[in-house]
Amino acid sequence: MKRIVIMASGSGSNAENIIEFFQSKETAMVTHVLTNNERAKVLERCNRLKINSLVFDKEDFIKTNKILDFLKNEADYIILAGFLWRIPMKIITAFPNRIINIHPALLPKYGGKGMYGMHVHEAIKENQEPLTGITIHFVNENYDEGAIIFQAETAIKSEDTVNDIAKKVQKLEYEFFPEVIEKVILKGNGQ
C-alpha cells in the first residue's frame, strides 16, 4: 500500500475528500497532512479524521532538509491540495512524477504565481470565459507548468457569479481528484 502525504494551506476540503476516498481503498492511504499555516482549517479536519498533521515554516521547507527528510521517510506520493508555496527543487528531484497538484482552471490559462482560489475564478468571470474547469498535473519547478495528467471542464453562464463558478469547479475537484490520484498510483508513474 502506497503512502500519501497531503500538503495544504487552507480549509482542507479537498484534503478531507482525498482522505475519505482512500479510507476504503487498498491502493494507498493518507498518512499525514502537512501545512505551512498554523491556523489552517485543514488541521481541524485532521483532528476529526484522526490523521497526523505537521505545521512547518519556510526555514524547515527551504533552508533545511527537515521537510525533505520527513517526506522521504513518510511518503510515496505527495498531493498538493490548496498548498500555496512553490515546491523546492530538492523535493521535486526526490519525488519525480510523484508530486501531484490540482489547479482550479484549465491550464495553461489562469496559472502561475498569485493565481489560486478565488483569484482564478474572479479573473475567469472578468474575462467572460465560456468554460472553466480543473487541471490535475505533476509538479515541476514552476507554478502550474508541470505535465498535465487530467482536465475536466464546466460551462459558465453569463449570470454565474464568482461564487457560482467556484462551486462548479469545486464539484469537479471532489469528483475527479481522488480518482485521478489513484490511477496515477496504479500506473506506478515515477516508480
Which residue do the cell numbers 505533476 mark? 138
CA distance 152 to 105: 9
Active site residues per annotation: 103
Task: Record the cell numbers describing residue 13, joined without a space.
Answer: 476540503
On the CB side of 64, CA atoms within 13 Å amount to: 9
Q: Which helix (H) or strand (E) holds 134?
A: strand 131-138
DSSP conformational letter for 84: -
Identify any residues that bridge with 54 across adjacent strands, giving them in sequence order: 34
- In 13-147, the DSSP E strands lie at 28-35, 52-55, 77-80, 99-103, 131-138
